[in-house]
Structure 1
Amino acid sequence: METNLIPQAFAALGHPGRLAIFRLLMRFAPQGVRPTEIAEALEMKPNTLSHHLSELEQATLIQVDRQGRSLFYSIRLDQVSALLGYLVHDAGRSRPDIAAALFKPVESDMANHPWNVLFICSGNSARSIFAEAILTDVGKGQFNAYSAGTRPGTQLNPFAIEVLARAGLDVSGLRSKHVSEFEGPDAPKMDFVFTVCDQAATEECAPWPGQPMTAHWGLPDPVKATGTDAEKALAFANVFASLRRRILAFTALPFAELEKVALQGHLDTLGKE
């Protein structure tokens, strides 16, 4: 980031509305988000949102890409990295007590113990339940799979249970859970946290303890499918197949050989497929 843009970037982030937009886009990074979805998630008027997006774009913190008739705003990770680097290495004089507080050291024994993986959705009735069941099946001995929803009081969807049963996966221990079950001091410490729906990604939540690796693997909500029961069942089956492909690719990654930056790149790529 050019030196003259640093004060502009801090000024842009100094406004609560622009900071909220920045935080939301970071939860989707490196993917982009439509302005209508940002406005809905933050309950922000379109003209106000347009002004804030313009300020963040001028500060080179975000970028906009056109896909067909839609605009997608996304974080410029290179510029954010440069801004953080300025804070730590220039303004902070590279003090080790500052850097140590920001980032924990990369573990070197990534293949030597099971990794805890949490899949989050809004309802924990289908997509995140699919992911938990699939990873439990294919990741035995290497991963412990969990799932949760951000909306309380949900139940497992019958179509989801039917798809899992047809795939030969064990459904006896599955239940809908609220994300709060995994936020307490006695909850298992997560190594990976994936959001599998856009609504869950927009939810404000406290940073996870232990700095787990995160990524957004958003998929369409099969619960919203319309038509005959056969058409609805097909929507659930398609989402199940997409998640299974991603999870198989995830479990095949050479974790012991990848540094965190490279691993994050693989996780982000899986979210876009």
Structure 2
Amino acid sequence: MTADVSSPVTHVFRLLTRRRTAGEYLPSSTFAATFAQRRAQRFTGLFEVDLPGGARGYLLLHHGRLVHAVYGSLAPTEAARTILHSARHGTVHVFALGDDSAALALASVDGRVVTLAQPMPAHEPTLLTDLGARGFEGVVLLERGATHHHIWHLSGGASPRAALPDSTAGYRKTVLAWAPRPLPALLYADESPAPDPVVAPVVDALPPRPVTAEELWRAFERELHEELDERAPRLLALLRDQHASTEPGELRQVLAEHLRRVAGSASRQDPSTLLSHGAPRAESE
């Protein structure tokens, strides 16, 4: 689903981050480290990033996986890259999402709009029961003003856990049809939290140590000098500035793509394997 100013995604993300007291201010200097930590902790929530010039972006984490991003009219993956690169220059707030709020956020990304912010009559007592009788699966949001909202996650006719407000005067209604499913990660797919491991016999060998960003840069610099000679330092300095905060999982892919462009069809080896563990270049025969 495309995220623009009139989309349910933008509407819902703004609603869930409207109460500043419910969020946590995050110093931009610690953003990269905290974002990585929250992913490792399987955190579910929204990062709201205000950038210079008044632009605002959102990153949605679900159980530690970056599943959606909003920044202007950019596609989600490009929005995520832009926000992650620019967050150190912005103001960041983090909002943890409970089960119902998370369902609303995911439904806005992955669901189908039935009704979006539609004014309600003063009394609509059968709204939830009517949806349940039809076997509706999805999320219902009622909102009024800046701070009052109610969320129901309905599943195939099951009774709602809470009743409607006594009066719905002044409320707006959003109904999103949505069947829960795991959403694909935009970035860091190779670093997404894994299922609980199967117990295996203990062996003496230690697991391989993850490659660091600095090791990737050293390997990239070596390969770059092989291809460009005296032109290598300029390109290296430019890329280091652009990707100073990029984490190893994404950095390896970015640098491998630059090597592909530089080496072209003359490359004897997949550049991603050259950068995987700082591997030396294969000798020519």
TM range (shorter): under 0.3
TM-score (norm 1): 0.22
Q: In terms of Rg, which structure is larger?
A: 2
TM-score normalised to the size of structure 2? 0.21
Structure number with the higher helix fraction is 1
